[in-house]
Structure 1
Amino acid sequence: MRLESAPGFPATGTPGLFWLGQAGFWIDTGAHRLLIDPYLSDSLARKYAGTAYPHLRMMAAPVSVAALPRPDLVLVTHAHTDHMDPETLGPLRERFPDLPFVVPAAVEEIARDRIGPGAKLRPVQADDRLVPLPGLTLEVFPAAHEVRARDDMGRDRFLGYGIAVPGVRLYHSGDSVPFADLDARVQRFAPDIALLPVNGRDAVRRAARIPGNFTLEEARHLARECAFLVPHHFGMFAFNTLDPGAIDAAAARSTTPRIIRPTAGHHLRIGH
């Protein structure tokens, strides 16, 4: 398998990944177009203006909501606004009223409020396995954004997704840290490409109620059997990022998996 950087958005029907910033990706499998956790607005900058953590963008949105083609499916991992953004998902629903959104069942009410009335929601929970599109299997993973939070019914508030189509398997962890059984789940799914956050965590952010994620080394270990690790959740907010140079340095040392740092405005073309 090859993963090669090329400028611009992937052409329809050409397998590839386009990083939207933070944890957001456009994924074209060649037969399906998926959108995961898109944050394409400045809603958090407005919400936190004048605070200690103003959430100012370090990178501009590489595409506007109005310029996005119609995806076949939108996947949302959890309810934090940089993953479930009303100013991105709401306008997307308005443009495409029949567009299906896969959301954690534990936060379905929040999702309906943010995406809008009449949204076509498909609530899921950990261990679900479904075929939302012909030829595409979706496996739902639990995630732990520092903690594995659940609702009163025991359903996980944070999820990840395994995407399987003929010829390629991808795993997007959502926001997560290592926890019991995650490693075994990922190895059973056996992804070719892992999309994992690498901004880490520390006591200062935890004290400010900013939950963290995998460190780069933890992400590399989880993806050790994958062909490629594509890091994300960096370069968006100055208080919650990782120096891209650290990713490049790790990429120079790592052969399994190969670490490919995504670049805004470029896509990663998937080839064989």
Structure 2
Amino acid sequence: MPAGFEAQPFAGPLSAELARPESPGLALYWLGQAGFLLRGGGLTLLIDPYLSDSLAEKYRATPLPHLRMMPPPIALTEIGPVDLILCTHAHTDHMDPATLAPLLAAQPTLRLVAPRAKRAEAMARGGIGAERIVTLDAGEAAMPLPGLHLRATRAAHEDLAQDESGAHLFLGYAIRLAGKTVFHSGDSIPFAGQVEEVRALKADLALLPVNGRSAALARQKVPGNFFLDEAIALAAAAGIPRMIAHHFGMFAFNTTPRATIEAAAARPALSLTLLPAATGMEYRLLP
């Protein structure tokens, strides 16, 4: 591992790990799909948590049944206090009402960050009023909590879709917390100007989807993401020294084998540290 970064397995459930006192630096835990829990600087954040089985219910008895390949690593009732939830876009595996609404109901001070283009939908799915939502569009920044700085970037979940006002439907977020910057691209493929936009963030770690895309899935209205080599190329070109590959291992019809990511991580000429996301693992950016 490069200096300033650790990836360590932990024994026992994630709930027990989170019950321990916070350590220095910025810790990350994978929740499955594009979901992560971040803890540092006295704050706990969730990004795109999908901790239910709502998509299996929605698509029951259809050609794409959305059966989970992995169970949620933690129950909603075991997460503990959360300060902010960030959703990159409105697809249910990123803005899940069965995850958001119970968490927001149980924690009255918890707020939600979402694309401005999906403000009404985010409020409805979370069951919250306007006072509990922070909206951003690409290029905008916010400091919703002391010690936390957010910047929204463009994302192309196959295209740079915008609403009638020009607000972007799909976002990425640069999260500056505990002296470190993590870039979560949201669901995206490569697009013109992306490398320059991401390079300007000066991120310490990239969280990038690697499930790829196909014409067959597009015909079934399932938009795709970076192929693994595209994600690696973006992180390398943007000067990001570490990358965690995610958005795999959840739905059998739309995934990438873990072994493929592990093989890429072992390439001798790779210019960055690449890790496949894993549950039971703590990733830590050291102070």
Residue 189 of structure 1 aligns to a residue whose secondary structure is coil
Counterpart of 1:263?
Answer: 278
Q: Which moved more, 1:161-170 or 1:148-157?
A: 161-170
User: Using the alignment, how far apart are the partners of 1:255 and 1:97 within structure 2?
Assistant: 45
For residue 254 of structure 2, give the secondary structure of its aligned residue in structure 1: coil
Matched, 1:73 2:84: yes
Distance 1:31 1:256 in 2: 32
Counterpart residue number, 1:2: 5
CA distance in structure 2 between the aligned counterparts of 1:26 and 1:165, rounded to whole angstroms: 13
* Partner amino acid, structure 2, of 1:264: T
The reply on whether 1:207 has 2:216 as its aligned counterpart is no
Q: Return the alpha-carbon distance in structure 2 between the equivalents of residues 262 and 141 of structure 1.
A: 22
Please tell me the residue identity of whatever aligns with 2:211. N
Q: What's the counterpart of residue 90 of structure 1?
A: 101
How many pairs were matched up?
272
* Secondary structure at 1:59 match in 2: coil
TM-score relative to the length of structure 1: 0.96
For residues 95 and 161 of structure 1, the distance between their equivalents in structure 2, rounded to whole angstroms, comes to 25
Equivalent residues of 1:138, 1:163 under 8 A apart: yes
Q: Percent identity?
A: 46
Give the letter aligned to residue 114 of structure 2.
V
Counterpart check, 1:152 vs 2:155: no
Contact 1:23 1:197 in 2 (8 A): yes
Equivalences for residues 16-27 of structure 1 within 5 A: 16-27=27-38
Give me the whole-angstrom Cα distance separating, in 1, the residues matched to 2:157 and 2:28: 24
- What does residue 50 of structure 2 align with? 39
What is the CA distance between 1:12 and its match in structure 2? Answer: 4.4
Correspondence for 1:193: 205
Equivalent AA in structure 2 for residue 37 of structure 1:
D
Cα distance in structure 2, aligned partners of 1:128 and 1:29: 23
Matching residue within 126, 134, 141 for 1:129? 141
Match of 2:244 in 1: 230
Select the residue among 14, 22, 26 that pairs with 1:13: 22
CA deviation after TM superposition for structure 1 residue 166, in Å = 4.8
In structure 2, C-alpha distance between the alignment counterparts of 1:180 and 1:114, rounded to whole Å: 32
Among 260, 271, 274, the alignment partner of 1:246 is 260
Displacement of 1:265 = 2.6
Contact 1:12 1:28 in 2 (8 A): no
Q: Unmatched 5+ residue regions in structure 1?
A: none
| Aligned amino acid, residue 244 of structure 1 | R
Are residue 100 (structure 1) and residue 111 (structure 2) matched?
A: yes
Corresponding letter in the other structure for 1:165: L
Indicate how the Cα distance of structure 1 residues 114 and 40 shifts in structure 2: closer, same or farther if over 3 A, else same. Answer: same
Residues 41-92 of structure 1, C-alpha deviations (whole Å, 9 max, x = no match): 0000001011110000000000011111111111010000000000000000
Please point out which of 188, 191, 202 is paired with 1:176: 188
Shift of 1:3: 2.5
CA drift of 1:269 comes to 2.6
Deviation at 1:117, TM superposition (A): 3.7
Q: Is the 8 A contact 2:183 2:207 kept in 1?
A: yes
Residues of 1 paired with 2:82 and 2:59: CA distance? 30
After superposition, the Cα gap between the structure-2 partners of 1:251 and 1:129, relative to the gap in structure 1 and judged at 3 Å, is same
Structure 1 counterpart of 2:174, one-letter code: G
Q: Which residue is 2:175 aligned to?
A: 163
Give the alignment's TM-score, normalised by structure 2: 0.91
**Match of 1:97, as an amino acid?**
P
Q: Distance in 2 between matches of 1:264 and 1:52?
A: 28
Please report the RMSD computed on the Cα atoms of aligned residues, expressed in angstroms. Answer: 1.4
Aligned-pair distance for 1:241? 0.3
Q: CA deviation at 1:98?
A: 2.0
- Residue 134 of structure 1 deviates from its aligned partner by 1.4
